[in-house]
């Protein structure tokens, strides 16, 4: 357990926040700090063919120890953290033998992680939790996944009596801004299938995810002196309010679950003469996904017609698609993971992802890639935590998958 804790903490204290406004890969220079460390760590445990390319994509190989051929499989995780909440100066806190009560993350600022609100905490009573200090995110998404993959490879190297085929490992930048797989070299990776270790609660196994798009809405206005504004001023923020209210108020992240889609306004910047709205659009069903995008365009058209002017312009870009279409033809890879989870003494939780992973894009690029739990909770914020025992079980699942592929 201590090795897992030490490795995980050595990763989360390195700031790797990505930037959606950057045009480089990786999107931030600071991601290189962890990327280079991961290269050294992979070499240190004895992995072979360890390399990092000019965009910070990392690949490595654990050679087969079999005298017969089996499929080459892969395990993938990302090392960036979300731009939505700060990952600078992370101070992890370790809580051993959690007692099921409130955890004071920051006494000075009265920030409390409470099971009265985050009920999942009670699943981990008696376990060791790693939390934030309440001022940053933790980075378990997805540095827990990286830790688990490296520790699993280390375990297999130290236990050559465990038979396994060739295993490829891949670590990517910029997953949190939807670009993690954009420059991933599938041919170079050369695996028949892979798994992202990027899920949340222990037991999760996912091969469905949202179809996703980003929408940039720009509203232009006209500014004049407010004392002489009658019939002249056009306040773009008022038009923006009309646009916001024109979308279904019950189809937002806080009002939906399961396979229900949503419109999520995550950023708004406005002045009288110019306002921008940034949305993400999500839906599991492709037809409904297309209808949502069309609805945004139509709403802008209606408001523009009412105004008699092209005040609103909309730009929508697709980000990724539901991997189910690409995974269902090879469902044996999901069944293999499900059996590995059960072998670890865990009840599988097979459900759609209310988000996306590198695996969704990789599946469309030709590398079927379901998603397995990494163990963390409350990603992208100050209340993020991960039970160390969940990370231990994730490592066990990786080893179980390697053994199963060798047998089959």
What's the rounded mean pLDDT across residues 305-332? 94
Give how far Cα 120 sits from Cα of 100, 202, 234, 378, Å.
Answer: 10, 11, 48, 10
pLDDT at 319: 87
In this model, does residue 34 exceed pLDDT 80? yes
Please identify which residue in the block is written with the tokens 């939790």.
Answer: 129
Instruction: Decide if 346 contacts 387 (C-beta within 8 A).
Output: no
Residue spans per domain, the chain: 2-209+322-407, 211-319
Active site annotation includes 41 = no
DSSP string over 338-357: HHHHHHTT---EE--BSS--
**The one catalytic residue among 142, 175, 198, 283:** 175
* Stated pTM of the model: 0.89
Q: Are strands 73-78 and 93-95 parallel, antiparallel or unpaired?
A: unpaired
As a whole number of angstroms, the distance between CA 197 and CA 390 comes to 12
The DSSP code for 177 is: G
pLDDT at 129: 98
CATH code, residues 211-319:
3.30.70.360
**Pairs from 100-107 (Cβ < 8 Å, separation ≥ 24):** 100/125, 103/129, 103/131, 105/131, 105/132, 105/133, 105/134, 105/382, 105/383, 106/133, 106/134, 106/135
Task: State pLDDT tens for residues 253-300.
Answer: 999 998 999 999 999 999 999 999 999 999 999 999 999 999 999 999
| Residue 378: strand, helix, or coil | coil
Q: Which residues, listed in sequence order, are joined to residue 270 by a DSSP beta bridge? A: 275
pLDDT-derived band at 48, boundaries 50, 70, 90 = very high
The architecture CATH gives domain 2-209+322-407: 3-Layer(aba) Sandwich (3.40)
**The one catalytic residue among 80, 151, 198, 206:** 80
pLDDT-derived band at 356, boundaries 50, 70, 90 = confident
Q: Is 117 exposed, middle or buried (0-12, 13-18, 19+ CB in 10 A)?
A: exposed
Active site annotation includes 254 = no
Give how far Cα 405 sits from Cα of 72, 169, 194, 402, Å.
Answer: 9, 16, 12, 5
The DSSP code for 161 is: T
Cα-based torsion angle of the residue sequence 19, 25, 28, 31 in order, rounded to the nearest 10 degrees: 120
Instruction: Decide if 340 contacts 73 (C-beta within 8 A).
Output: no
């Amino acid at each position: 357990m201590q090795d897992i804790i030490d490795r995980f903490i050595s990763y989360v204290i390195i700031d790797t926040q990505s930037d959606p406004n950057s045009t480089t890969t990786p999107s931030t220079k600071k991601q290189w700090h962890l990327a280079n460390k991961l290269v050294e760590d992979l070499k240190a445990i004895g992995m072979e063919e360890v390399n990092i390319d000019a965009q910070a994509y990392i690949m490595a190989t654990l050679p087969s120890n079999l005298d017969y051929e089996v499929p080459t499989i892969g395990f993938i995780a990302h090392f960036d953290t979300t731009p939505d909440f700060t990952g600078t100066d992370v101070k992890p806190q370790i809580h051993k033998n959690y007692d099921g009560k409130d955890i004071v993350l920051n006494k000075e600022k009265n920030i409390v992680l409470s099971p009265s609100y985050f009920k999942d905490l009670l699943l981990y009573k008696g376990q060791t939790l790693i939390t934030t200090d309440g001022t940053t995110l933790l980075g378990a998404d997805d540095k827990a996944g990286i830790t688990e993959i490296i520790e699993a490879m280390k375990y297999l190297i130290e236990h050559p009596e465990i038979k396994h085929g060739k295993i490829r490992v891949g670590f990517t930048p910029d997953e949190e801004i939807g670009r993690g797989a954009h420059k991933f070299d599938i041919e170079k990776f050369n695996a028949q299938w892979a798994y992202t270790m990027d899920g949340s609660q222990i037991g999760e196994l996912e091969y469905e995810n949202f179809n996703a798009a980003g929408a940039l809405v720009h509203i232009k206005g006209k500014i004049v002196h407010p004392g002489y504004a009658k019939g002249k001023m056009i306040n773009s923020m008022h038009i923006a309010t009309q646009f916001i209210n024109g979308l279904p108020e019950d189809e937002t992240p806080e009002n939906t679950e399961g396979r229900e889609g949503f419109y999520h306004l995550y950023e708004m910047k406005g002045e009288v003469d110019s306002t921008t709205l940034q949305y993400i659009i999500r839906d599991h069903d492709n037809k409904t996904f297309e209808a949502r995008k069309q609805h945004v365009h139509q709403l802008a058209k209606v408001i523009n017609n009412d105004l008699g002017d092209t005040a609103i312009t909309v730009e929508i870009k697709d980000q990724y698609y539901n991997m189910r279409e690409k995974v269902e033809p090879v469902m044996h890879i999901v069944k293999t993971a499900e059996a590995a989870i059960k072998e670890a003494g865990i009840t599988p939780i097979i459900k759609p992802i209310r988000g996306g992973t590198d695996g969704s894009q990789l599946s469309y690029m030709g590398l079927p890639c379901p998603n397995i739990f990494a163990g963390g909770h409350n990603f992208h914020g100050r209340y993020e935590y991960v039970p160390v025992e969940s990370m231990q079980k994730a490592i066990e699942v990786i080893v179980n998958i390697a053994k199963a592929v060798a047998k089959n």
